Amino acid sequence: MTGAAPQTIEDIILRRDGRSMHALRPHLRSDFCDDAARFLYECAGPTLVVTGFYILSGGAVETDGPPGAAAIGEALEALGRTVVYVTDVHGGAVMRALAPHAEVVEFPIADMEQSRAFARDLVERVRPAAAVAIERCSLTAEGLYRNMRSLDISAYTAKVDPIFDLVEDSVGVGDGGNEIGMGVLAEHIKGVEALPDDPAATTCSRLVISSVSNWGGYGLVASLSKLAGRNLLPSVEREAAWVRACVDLGVVDGTSGKPIAAVDGFPLEENSETLQILHDALAAQGIR
């Protein structure tokens, strides 16, 4: 199922790239995933993990994001960090299902003034050392939330972006150019035909790009595993169970908008290949 693993984690998470994300790679460090992991590893303290991308055609959040968030959160917990997940009303039930032991905050869908106040109160209470966003739609420069078809999803998206103004150290994981964190490459994204003309405006300290955001999340965990000297990745079976649990709660595949066990159009077996290759890459380095 796995074949020969590429040499780097960055290669692995950009395999089967269908959105020209590779065009952004020259604008990041060659070891961008390892670099983000080192950065996060050194941010000792509580971490906010933000996810949940609303799919208009499905009327729900998508399967890309929550499993990656859960994987990142569990890895950080294994390293002794407290994790608080942040989503909105559309992602609350799924994050509580994937992380039943952790606090899940449902950020209200409100105007910007109320959103800034909620973010400020959250940050003051949790006092996070870092914030991580994975597959979470970002504000554009015009102040709207747009999906990959440039359709406005602002009415269904909580304005969590102020968190990333308040928390100095942050990591963004995305696969389409419109996610929180991608603002650091906004001008380059505009120059790639397959990516949005009105990209993300919200920036981050370190950016991870991938073909599927969950894969970027697993890549980040694999890189953290190298630093910890032990494999922090979920098993292939556990990740598949996460995806199925999402679907049971009405979460949809982001490509089709249907509640099926797929992630960005990849059926479970194809989706699992990337995670298995990451496991194989760690094992080849003696990390188990």
Show the tokens assigned to 6: 């590429």
Distances (CA, A) of 22 to 36, 56, 192, 194: 17, 27, 10, 11
Look at residue 4 in the predicted model and tell me its pLDDT: 54
What's the pLDDT tens digit per position in 61-113?
A: 999 999 999 999 999 999 999 999 999 999 999 999 999 999 999 999 999 99
What is the Cα–Cα distance from 264 to 174, expressed in whole angstroms?
Answer: 12
Mean pLDDT, residues 261-287: 97
pLDDT at 7: 85
Mean pLDDT along residues 145-170:
98
- Would you say the pTM of this structure is higher than 0.95? yes
- The predicted pLDDT at position 255 comes to 97
**Are the CB atoms for 48 and 126 separated by under 8 Å?**
yes
At 205, is the secondary structure helix, strand, or coil? coil
Mean pLDDT, all residues of the chain:
97
The torsion angle over the Cα atoms of residues 86, 70, 181 and 5, rounded to 10 degrees, is 180
Residue 260: per-residue pLDDT: 98
| Section 249-266 average pLDDT | 98
42 pLDDT band (50/70/90 cuts)? very high
Quick check: 202 and 174 in contact, CB under 8 A? no
**DSSP output for 149-193:** T--B-GGG----TTHHHH-SSEEEEESSS-BTTGGGGHHHHHTST
For the cut 80, the answer to whether the pLDDT of residue 5 exceeds it is no
In whole angstroms, what is the distance from residue 189 CA to residue 183 CA? 9
Q: Enumerate the H helices of the chain as residue ranges.
A: 9-13, 32-41, 66-78, 92-98, 112-126, 163-166, 186-190, 213-228, 236-248, 268-284
- Are 284 and 5 in contact by the 8 Å Cβ rule? The answer is yes
Neighbouring CB atoms inside 10 A of 264's CB total 23
Predicted confidence (pLDDT) at residue 2 exceeds the cutoff of 70: no
